[in-house]
Structure 1
Amino acid sequence: MDTQTNPLSHELNPDEKSDKRILERMTHSPSKNPAAPQVNAVEAAQSILGSFVVLCVKLFALFIRTLPPAIALKLIQILVKIGVTLQPKFQRIGMKNLQTAFPSLPEHDHHRLLEEHYRELARLIRDSFSLRTFDKLWFERCVSFPEKERYLELHKNSQTGILIATGHLGSFELLAHCAALLDSPLSFVVRSFRPKALNDWWCSERESLGNKVINRSGAFKEIVRTLRSGRDVGILFDQNVTRNHAVFVPWFSELAATTRALALAGIQLQAPIVVSALCYAGTTKNGEDSYTLYWRKCPVEEIYQNSTLTREEKVERITSLASQMFIELINQHPAQWFWLHRRWRTKPEPPTLPTHRT
């Protein structure tokens, strides 16, 4: 078709061009960037979902707090059992871990420990949802702290904050809460999770008595700064890490990838290191759950001061020492460690065999 005779192809004057731009903005502006409204919609949906999840968790936490502790424990234990039944991979992971840690035990004992672990996992969840209900009077009634005098003395004499090597043993969320109840609030390193709204709410629960959360991503500088200020720092060092952040030390019968951050921070500041956990210890005369707070100082001073050791050798020795002390606590309370995590997932690189020239 000849464009000169086509009335739809005529040259637009300035007024017509302006009208056309306005019309396009009114009717077709989304087509210029079709991804933009989709991103906004996704973000809005995520925000709504996050708020809904937080509301559900808050209501569940409130419900748990209103129940008698024994009934709350039984209810959560049923939910845990349903969860691991629907996700059988966790049962397989738990059994494999128990077989690795306790190879001499018969299989029926592995099954028994795993069943006991589900109950202790339910106790952890109940205690975590009930953090705000635990006060100093509860601590005096229900927590045995054999090393309290040593704890007070170490805080009095230390030039820095104390590095607390802990892990997923017993009621570890309640452990940090107990530090605040002892008027020594601490900072502790955790991994953030999604949805963000739930993570933010959970951090506010953890920080309700003055504790502070350090995000695991890029945490080392904050760990050092906090220790220098005189504040204690807790590091959960008992789970698998990637090879580039790991030192391989014995964990039960196999080498396990363990964070280097604990030892590196200790070496840099010559900070005292303590292995700690809060473990269930039966019931009181009044029928309340009782706990033992373990606080065991690592003898790391000689390692710090040994000039014949390289920094890497010091990291390995300190991490190995803390690991063995923590494993002793696990052996005392085997059902209370978190067995559903792939602790030995990251393997050490095989040794390089020397090449021989012929």
Structure 2
Amino acid sequence: MSPSGFEARAAQQSPARRARKASMADVARLAGVSAQTVSRVSNGHSSVVESTREQVLEAMRQLGYRPNSAARALKYGEFRTIGVILFSLSSVGNSRTLEAIVDSAAQEGYAITLIPVAVPTQDGVLGAFTRLGELAVDAVIVIMEVHLLDAATVSLPVGVPVVVVDSNGGDRYTVVDTDQADGARRAVGHLLDLGHRTAWHVAGPEDSYAAEGRAVAWRAALEEAGVPVPPMARGDWTSGSGYRAGLALADEPDCTAVFAANDQMALGLLRAFHERGRVVPRDISVVGFDDLPDATSFIPPLTTVHQDFAEVGRRCVERVLRQVQHRRTEPGTTLVPTRLVVRGSTAPPRA
């Protein structure tokens, strides 16, 4: 439709029609298309020609039309909304996973409703599901992280499509996770291949599933290589906890290589070693986990394990929408591969 034709149609809209709430039929008349085409545009279908889509969107803007999600849900049995239950936004991994889920859901034409849970308990989980039920969602993604599903008293409600991130509950639920063990093995293997006698470890919090997976794999990799397993330090994902661990490790004469469970704690290690006169990587090598965008700006740039958060988010949305489509649960675990990114914080030990 030409701009003049569109403007002429807009001018023909009666004052009474403009005063009441615009309907899909009104948008169709103004855009010069069928109501079915307007519906396709509203639902984000890719089958609409881009020029037609722009006509429909402009007509919506002219009329102040907003798709009625409740009516659509009654007609098609869906709300085009995914609920996300999240126990912590403070960790970089959780926030980046959430960002990836939001982006992937938008590409599929779905909105996200976020329900943060302050205390990770069974009551907290059930309360979050109740709130999501009231807000009308088609499915739920739970960014678990903590060891909730390990306890026999903790379970997720049945009857709703669910995908869980960071959990070992694949025998009961659909789980999507980074391959934590493979990432840790890559980090340890890199340090041993450089010639270090062993690799020390700064682990994440005890209640974190991801932290435990990385710590268990770290120990297993050392044992399989037949090298000493040094005492493990414990952090809380923050750079401050890495700094405190680094001050202690700097006093260990046999410590020439450290694998930190995330990049934030690795940053704290770099600061502690600098303050104690331990030059990285000449005196001590450091490997992180996550591959934060700022990892290249650390001094020196950080060798780290790359997590593909975008792929985790995509697979979460894919798996949960597949459950919506087939109307059945699909227990099992999907692991997203990692890769080692070698930068300037690792080198062979001094002779």
Q: TM-score, normalised by structure 2?
A: 0.28
More relative contact order, 1 or 2 (CA 8 Å, 6+ apart)? 1
Q: TM-score, normalised by structure 1?
A: 0.28
Q: Which has the larger radius of gyration?
A: 1
* Greater fraction helix: 1
